[in-house]
Amino acid sequence: MSATGSGYDLSVTTFSPDGRVFQVEYASKAIEKSGTAIGIRCSDGVVLGVEKAIISRMLLTSSNRRIHTVGIYNGIACSGFAADARQIVNRGREEAANYKSYYANVIPGNVLANRLAGFVHLYTLYWYYRPFGCSVLVGSYSPEGTPELHQIDPSGVSHSYYAAVVGKNKEAAKSELEKIDFRTYKCRDAVKEIARIIYKLHDESKDKDFTLEMTWACDETKSKHQLVPQDLLEEAVKNAKDLKAKEEQDSDDDDDDDDDAPPAKK
């Protein structure tokens, strides 16, 4: 019974005999069907990028954003249910405003992430709530501090990363990111890398068309969280498409060579 969740998934407060909370696991499954979101912490800032599906050709690209600004120096990228993520963003803005009012200073990234993690965890403690169907990446770069990147999961767990991925292509993107030396990585390099990974993993035969949404907080922006300049984003997207086309062409050439090879002698 516990293997399928039958009888133990009716409430978020119910543990299965093997110690699992199935509604939290179901929330994680919902995130795996959403667009990929990537965050990279660099030596001079932090970059966030999200694959946002185009649900209609009439949709304005500026609507239903997947990356939001919280305060001045913090950005939140989300994967999963956008409506759920919006409530986390609203809570983050309240926390930033309260911290500013009480301490007369901007909220540090780790403080914001921990408070949001506590807020998300709250929704796993009471039977009349359901877990948030989203994961968020919190990127921060305050003028007095260093770049920070945190990931918050539906369970309310928060971890700090050099690079983090949530969404449908999480494992494949992680494999790409593990090759990077983040100690010397710059934000301009991260913009191109995020675009390359998202376009490389996008399956045109199965996935919907998408737009690439990307923001950063770095030395170039004086630590403020802003949209990546359009010219830089377009250059990164063009480079990503060219690399993907070249890889597909090389793959086709290899297949042709295999077809032309003479049969092995018995």
Q: Are 73 and 106 in contact (CB under 8 A)?
A: yes
Task: Give, for all 266 residues of the chain, the pLDDT tens digit.
Answer: 345 667 788 888 889 898 899 999 999 999 999 999 999 999 999 999 999 988 888 888 778 899 999 989 999 999 999 999 999 999 999 999 999 999 999 999 999 999 999 999 999 999 999 999 999 999 999 888 899 999 999 999 999 999 999 999 899 999 999 988 888 899 999 999 999 999 999 988 778 889 999 999 999 999 999 999 999 999 999 999 999 889 888 776 666 555 565 666 65
Residue corresponding to tokens 């939290």: 24
| Torsion angle (degrees, nearest 10) of CA 233, 236, 238, 242 | -170
Q: What is the pTM of this model?
A: 0.89
